[in-house]
Amino acid sequence: VGKPVFNSDRYYDQPPTGVAMGLAWTQLGGATLYIESVASSSGKKSGGLITTGKMGEVMKESTDLALTFSKNYLKKVQPESEFFDSSSIHMHIPEGATPKDGPSAGITMVTSLLSLALNKKVRNDLAMTGEITLTGKVLPIGGVREKTVAASRSGIKLIILPESNRKDWEELPAHVRKGIKVQFADYYDDVFEIAFKNSADQAGTESP
Amino acid sequence: VGKPVFNSDRYYDQPPTGVAMGLAWTQLGGATLYIESVASSSGKKSGGLITTGKMGEVMKESTDLALTFSKNYLKKVQPESEFFDSSSIHMHIPEGATPKDGPSAGITMVTSLLSLALNKKVRNDLAMTGEITLTGKVLPIGGVREKTVAASRSGIKLIILPESNRKDWEELPAHVRKGIKVQFADYYDDVFEIAFKNSADQAGTESP
Amino acid sequence: VGKPVFNSDRYYDQPPTGVAMGLAWTQLGGATLYIESVASSSGKKSGGLITTGKMGEVMKESTDLALTFSKNYLKKVQPESEFFDSSSIHMHIPEGATPKDGPSAGITMVTSLLSLALNKKVRNDLAMTGEITLTGKVLPIGGVREKTVAASRSGIKLIILPESNRKDWEELPAHVRKGIKVQFADYYDDVFEIAFKNSADQAGTESP
In this predicted structure, what is the pLDDT of residue B24? 93
In this predicted structure, what is the pLDDT of residue C200? 43
Q: Do chains A and C touch (3 or more CB pairs under 8 A)?
A: no
pLDDT score of A9 more than 70: no
Q: Closest residue of B to A103, CA-based?
A: B96
Kindly report the nearest CA distance between residue A122 and chain B, in angstroms. Answer: 25
Q: Provide the mean pLDDT of chain A.
A: 89
Q: Kindly state whether B6 is in contact with chain A, defined as any CB-CB distance less than 8 angstroms.
A: no
pLDDT band at B41 (very low <50, low <70, confident <90, very high): low
Report the alpha-carbon distance of residue B53 to residue A121 in Å, rounded: 30
pLDDT score of C70 more than 80: yes
Which residue of the set A37, A100, A112, A147 is catalytic? Answer: A147
User: What is residue A33's three-state secondary structure?
Assistant: strand
Q: Closest residue of B to A85, CA-based?
A: B41
**Among A104-113, A197-206, B72-81, C133-142, the least confident range:** A197-206
For residues A143-153, average pLDDT:
96
pLDDT score of B153 more than 50: yes
CB within 8 Å: B103 and C90? no
Kindly report the nearest CA distance between residue B94 and chain A, in angstroms. Answer: 6
pLDDT band at B178 (very low <50, low <70, confident <90, very high): very high
For residues C128-144, average pLDDT:
97
Long-range contacts of A40-47 (CB under 8 A, 24+ apart): A40/A87, A40/A88, A40/A89, A40/A90, A41/A87, A41/A88, A42/A86, A42/A87, A42/A88, A43/A86, A43/A88, A45/A88, A46/A84, A46/A85, A46/A86, A46/A87, A46/A88, A46/B41, A47/A71, A47/A84, A47/A85, A47/A88, A47/B41
Catalytic: B178? no
Residue C67's Cβ-side half-sphere holds a number of Cα atoms within 13 Å equal to 22
**Which positions 187-206 of B are in contact with A (Cβ < 8 Å)?**
none
pLDDT score of B44 more than 70: no
Instruction: Give residues with Cβ within 8 angstroms of A200, minimum separation 6.
Output: none
Percent of chain C having pLDDT more than 90?
79
Q: Provide the mean pLDDT of chain C.
A: 89
Which residue of the set B104, B112, B152, B154 is catalytic? Answer: B104
Residue type at A154 in one-letter notation:
S
pLDDT score of A6 more than 70: no
Helix (H) and strand (E) counts for chain C? 7, 9
In this predicted structure, what is the pLDDT of residue A199? 44
Q: ipTM value of the model?
A: 0.86
Set of chain B residues whose Cβ sits within 8 Å of the Cβ of A68: 38, 40, 50, 90
Q: Closest residue of C to B186, CA-based?
A: C11
Q: Closest residue of C to B71, CA-based?
A: C40
For residues B89-94, average pLDDT:
96
pLDDT score of B207 more than 80: no
The pLDDT tens digits for C17-69 are 999 999 998 878 899 999 999 998 655 555 689 999 999 999 999 999 999 99
The pLDDT tens digits for C163-208 are 999 999 999 999 999 999 999 999 999 999 999 986 444 444 444 4
**Secondary structure element (H or E) that encloses residue B158, with its range:** strand B158-162
Catalytic: A104? yes
CB within 8 Å: B12 and A137? yes
CB within 8 Å: A64 and B41? no
Cα–Cα nearest to A25, from A126, A147, A148: A147
For residues A10-24, average pLDDT:
90
User: What is residue A181's three-state secondary structure?
Assistant: strand
Answer with the residue of higher pLDDT: C197 or B143: B143
Task: Kindly list the catalytic residues of C.
Answer: 104, 147
For residues C10-22, average pLDDT:
91
In this predicted structure, what is the pLDDT of residue B6? 53
In this predicted structure, what is the pLDDT of residue C1? 34
pTM of the model: 0.88
In this predicted structure, what is the pLDDT of residue B48? 85
In this predicted structure, what is the pLDDT of residue B198? 62
pLDDT score of A205 more than 80: no
Kindly report the nearest CA distance between residue B61 and chain C, in angstroms. Answer: 6
In this predicted structure, what is the pLDDT of residue C112? 98
Residue type at A54 in one-letter notation:
K
Set of chain A residues whose Cβ sits within 8 Å of the Cβ of B60: none
CB within 8 Å: A64 and B53? no
pLDDT score of B185 more than 70: yes
Q: Closest residue of B to C42, CA-based?
A: B85
Percent of chain A having pLDDT more than 90?
77
For residues C126-153, average pLDDT:
96
Residue of A25, A64, A68, A139 to mutate, interface with B, max B Cβ within 10 Å: A68
First to last CA, chain B: 22
pLDDT score of A133 more than 60: yes
For residues B82-108, average pLDDT:
94
pLDDT band at A1 (very low <50, low <70, confident <90, very high): very low
Q: Kindly state whether B41 is in contact with chain A, defined as any CB-CB distance less than 8 angstroms.
A: yes
In this predicted structure, what is the pLDDT of residue A2? 45
In this predicted structure, what is the pLDDT of residue B9? 65
The pLDDT tens digits for A30-60 are 999 999 999 976 555 566 899 999 999 999 9
First to last CA, chain C: 22
For residues A151-164, average pLDDT:
95
pLDDT score of A87 more than 80: yes
**Among A88-92, B156-160, C46-50, the least confident range:** C46-50
**CA dist A125 to A132, A144, C22, C189, Å?**
22, 18, 65, 76
pLDDT score of B30 more than 70: yes
